[in-house]
Structure 1
């Protein structure tokens, strides 16, 4: 099976991360999961080939938050698709989120992550 793309998941809650990882893996994505903002930034810098998608929680402990991780991802690779996940930071998305990103409010179902990624990648492929 060909990969649908490379996805980095940055989520400090192991159960949520595992659920998203399993869902994306079943759909043919190559998934790397990290559990802190600093690990996410390190993974973004060391990935060859680069990630196509970043799925990040906004509030992670320890280390940088998802806003910082997404900004670093876009600095390194401007075309990376970004999906934010949060239970309490929705209001800050317009001011702090990177352009063209999607925000999912927790709780959500894994299919919402798939739909968000598909929408972002399809939009990126348009001329």
Structure 2
């Protein structure tokens, strides 16, 4: 008799405060669709264990003890192409912090985080955030969203990113953006690159955040204006195999 596949979302907790980890663990154990695969107090160890435990979502404290990777650096390593290629999957990182700090928010999102939550958020919000990022969506705590919108509203209108600014993207993100610019839908990109649809959504969300864009249309315009894609270009080559 074949064992049923466990469809629950796999969650790894990384926070250096034992009481916080214990509270998060108790909260998430009550959710039938979530399963905790690890609880760690070290961001460096979280990166190492993620490759073995293969969580769908890593709940990461942005501030970790001296002498270890901080949550931002760990997030950058977890969302790097080399890590994804070596592990064969794309983890989503939900950054958790006690401080509504602009610098921490921007740094985490630029590093590739899929979401940002404050520790004083309601338990239901955290559960909803985990479910959202597990499905390839972005999630920002409302207080963080308000600050980002206010910051955006007070800035002068910025030009679309240049080709040099496109270097903020990983090679895989540039590949996804090129296909978006060629008119591919998320489903078509997923099939073309042999990726999960949620993974494509995650990549597109990171592209928008890193480039400071707010829509798919802006992303297409940026791809052509920067020279990443030219009108007579062919789509990137389709891989024979993609994890």
* TM-score of the pair, normalised by structure 2: 0.46
Select between 69-78 and 51-60 the one with higher mean Cα deviation. Answer: 69-78
Select between 81-90 and 55-64 the one with higher mean Cα deviation. Answer: 81-90
Shift of 1:119: 1.5
Q: Do 2:75 and 2:108's aligned partners in 1 also have CA atoms closer than 8 Å?
A: no
Bigger radius of gyration? 2
Structure 2: how far apart are the matches of 1:125 and 1:96?
A: 18
Shift of 1:109: 2.7
Higher percent of residues as strand: 1
Structure 2: how far apart are the matches of 1:112 and 1:18?
A: 18
Higher relative CO (CA 8 A, sep ≥ 6), structure 1 or 2? 1
Select between 17-26 and 93-102 the one with higher mean Cα deviation. Answer: 93-102
1:27 to 18, 26, 31: 31
CA deviations over 1:3-50 (Å, ceiling 9, x no partner): 421111100111111111122222132211101112212211322xx1
2:94 is aligned to: 83
1:55 to 46, 52, 59: 59
1:116 partnered with 2:141: no
Shift of 1:88: 2.6
Q: Do 2:9 and 2:134's aligned partners in 1 also have CA atoms closer than 8 Å?
A: no
Structure 1: how far apart are the matches of 2:30 and 2:112?
A: 28
Any gaps of 5 or more consecutive residues in structure 2?
Answer: 138-197, 202-243
How many equivalent residue pairs? 125
1:69 to 66, 70, 74: 74
1:37 partnered with 2:35: no
Q: Do 1:86 and 1:106's aligned partners in 2 also have CA atoms closer than 8 Å?
A: yes
Select between 51-60 and 111-120 the one with higher mean Cα deviation. Answer: 111-120
Structure 1: how far apart are the matches of 2:95 and 2:101?
A: 9
Q: Do 1:7 and 1:53's aligned partners in 2 also have CA atoms closer than 8 Å?
A: yes
1:94 to 106, 122, 125: 106
* TM-score of the pair, normalised by structure 1: 0.82
RMSD over aligned Cα, in angstroms? 2.4
Structure 2: how far apart are the matches of 1:88 and 1:4?
A: 30
